[in-house]
């Protein structure tokens, strides 16, 4: 089961600071808390749904297909805690258009 952040210590699209390694996020910060990525579980690219694309978008169809966000599903633990008992699964996204990282989902 997963839950989208809202009213549980975060919000949908909560901006986070990410240090990126060679394969994806290596660690990230939510406020003052640092989380260390232990394992990269999955990654994918999401494009904007066709019904949300603006009529005034420039760059043609190929630009619309490339625009979007990269998402990484990672297992991470708050720094200083045991991975065996405190690991969580997080979806982090990088939006190329905004050049920003977001925490978009926490999985139970």
pLDDT score at 45: 92
pLDDT of residue 58: 53
pLDDT of residue 62: 54
pLDDT tens digit at each of 108 positions of the chain: 455 544 345 555 789 999 999 999 999 998 888 999 999 999 999 887 777 666 555 555 555 555 678 999 999 999 877 666 678 999 999 988 888 999 999 987
| Secondary structure percentages of the chain, helix, strand, coil, to 5 | 15, 55, 35
CB neighbour burial string for 29-59, b if at least 16 within 10 angstroms, e if fewer = ebeeebbbbeeeeeeeeeeeeeeeeeeeeee
Domain boundaries, the chain: 15-48+66-107
pTM for the model: 0.74
Q: What is the pLDDT of residue 22?
A: 93
DSSP state of 8: S
pLDDT at 7: 38
Q: Helix (H, G, I), strand (E, B), or coil: what is residue 65?
A: helix
Closest CA to 97 of 53, 50, 36, 55: 53
């Amino acid at each position: 089961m997963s839950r989208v952040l809202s009213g549980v210590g975060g919000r949908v699209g909560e901006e986070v600071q990410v240090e990126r390694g060679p394969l994806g996020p290596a660690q990230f910060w939510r406020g003052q808390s640092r989380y260390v990525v232990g394992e990269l579980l999955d990654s994918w690219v999401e494009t904007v749904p066709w019904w949300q694309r603006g009529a005034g978008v420039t760059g043609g169809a190929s630009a619309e297909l490339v625009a979007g966000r990269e998402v990484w599903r990672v297992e991470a633990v708050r720094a200083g805690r045991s991975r065996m008992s405190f690991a969580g699964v997080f979806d982090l996204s990088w939006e190329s258009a905004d050049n920003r990282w977001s925490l978009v989902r926490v999985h139970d």
